[in-house]
Structure 1
Amino acid sequence: MESAKIKLYVGADFVSAFAMSTFVALKEKQLSFELVTLDLKARENYQPGYRDLSLTCKIPTLVHQGFALSESSAIAEYLDEIAPQPQKLFPLDTRQRARARQLQAWLRSDLLIIRKERPADLIYFGKKDTPLSDDALAAVDRLFFVADRLLKGGADHLFGDWSIADTDLAIMLNRLLANGDHVPARLAAYVRRQWDRDSVRAWMDIERTAPAVN
């Protein structure tokens, strides 16, 4: 495939968990791509040019040979189809692949309260000095239950070999870990292993400007 034609549109602050997931997927595929940034605070993602490209006005959006696609999980599936090697993003086993997709969908839909009270920018810019609400604590309990059940026996990865679902789960857990909230030691070690991947390090090495304090 002609990877030089890939563009990835992300927020200019480089803090979106979904943008990170897609960036990691491209790096794992060893595909070259151009990063295009949008000022989300200025609502550049709602301008007609980007709206017409992305359809949903969301980031990230990937453009490959004239085809534009948003939603990070859909992008990962697309990349696995067009570039099967060198690294698969999803498990080869049918049921494990289905479970990975289930986990991705759940992380994006059922844990909104965690994303609200522990936004991803905490990973880059420091702690939030507010305790978790009762609803958020209940969501955290569900998160720990699922993670513990899927990471059986202290496994390094969810499904034997690494998958993009590992990055997505680690990001959610790291919202808590980076803030100093309690995370079980085994899950904290899992996050550190995921954060040691070259693809994740490449994302973390991007220069960011901390938001102004009001």
Structure 2
Amino acid sequence: MTDDLVLYGNKGWTSPYVFSAFVTLKEKGLPFRMEVLDLQAGQHRRPEYTEPSSTGRVPALRHGDFWVAESSAIDEYLEEVFPPPAHARLYPADPRQRARVRMVQAFVRSDVLEVRMERSTATLFEGAAAKPLTPAGRVAAERLVAVAGRFLAPGAEHVAGEFTIADADLALLLQRLVHNGDPCPERLAVYAQRVFQRPSVREWLKQTAWRDR
């Protein structure tokens, strides 16, 4: 059954991690209900959320009486419970390509901290102004561009041959530069903009202050 899927996100629709789980659900065509928590008000710290979700963070997914938190765990759970061909494949069948997708997802979540801090998603989804990058921010931006260029082979449209959830995650990270006018090679900017035209992503953007450029 898919009518008992609930995704818990944050007020403001700014979390890149909620974004990842949201896009996965949309790409798989799964009906779900969105529950938005006010983190500033501490709604995620209430016992009725912290106890079943374990981490007390967003996103969390409730599927019937089962809960799972952390976006990459949610993505993989949905891939396994709602697999192809009935639902879109978001992790490649080939083990090496699947490992590549997981590598991209891990990088997006753990590296280039200065980019994620100095180009917060509030600059994308809430219209917040971006200040010039600090020297550390510029170094991190250069690293992001270099690594993304290796993830995305010249002429390739996706990191693993076809669209996967890693493309949504990587495109969002690149948009932190592209959308704010920071240096980014054209092919990576075009890639990020193309991913952001997918219907699943557009559904997310409708909830935000995003403006196409």
Q: Same fold (TM over 0.5)?
A: yes
Deviations 1:36-81 (A, max 9, x none): 1100111111111111121111101000021101111110100110
The whole-number CA distance in structure 1 between the counterparts of 2:102 and 2:122 is: 25
Task: Report the secondary structure of 1:140's partner residue.
Answer: helix
Deviations 1:151-184 (A, max 9, x none): 1122111111000000000000001111111111
Say whether 1:166 aligns with 2:167: yes
| CA apart distance, 1:127 | 5.2
Q: TM-score, normalised by structure 1?
A: 0.93
**Could you say which residue in structure 1 is the equivalent of 2:198?**
197
Query: What does residue range 65-214 of structure 1 map to in structure 2 within 5 Å?
Result: 65-85=64-84, 86-126=87-127, 128-206=129-207
Higher mean Cα deviation, 127-136 or 58-67?
127-136
The whole-number CA distance in structure 1 between the counterparts of 2:179 and 2:125 is: 8
The whole-number CA distance in structure 2 between the counterparts of 1:202 and 1:65 is: 24
Identity of aligned residues (%): 43
**Could you say which residue in structure 2 is the equivalent of 1:9?**
8
Task: Return structure 1 stretches of 4+ with deviation > 3 angstroms.
Answer: none
Decide whether the 8 Å contact of 1:6 with 1:63 is kept in 2.
Answer: yes
Q: Which residue identity lines up with residue 45 of structure 1 in the other structure?
A: H
Decide whether the 8 Å contact of 2:118 with 2:133 is kept in 1.
Answer: yes
Higher mean Cα deviation, 37-46 or 126-135?
126-135
| CA apart distance, 1:88 | 1.0
Decide whether the 8 Å contact of 2:12 with 2:208 is kept in 1.
Answer: no
Tell me the C-alpha RMSD between the 2 structures.
Answer: 1.4
Q: How many residues align?
A: 208
- Cα gap change, 1:144 to 1:162, in 2 (>3 Å): same
The whole-number CA distance in structure 2 between the counterparts of 1:69 and 1:125 is: 28
| CA apart distance, 1:129 | 4.0
Q: TM-score, normalised by structure 2?
A: 0.93
The whole-number CA distance in structure 1 between the counterparts of 2:117 and 2:108 is: 13
Decide whether the 8 Å contact of 2:127 with 2:209 is kept in 1.
Answer: no
The whole-number CA distance in structure 1 between the counterparts of 2:201 and 2:171 is: 11
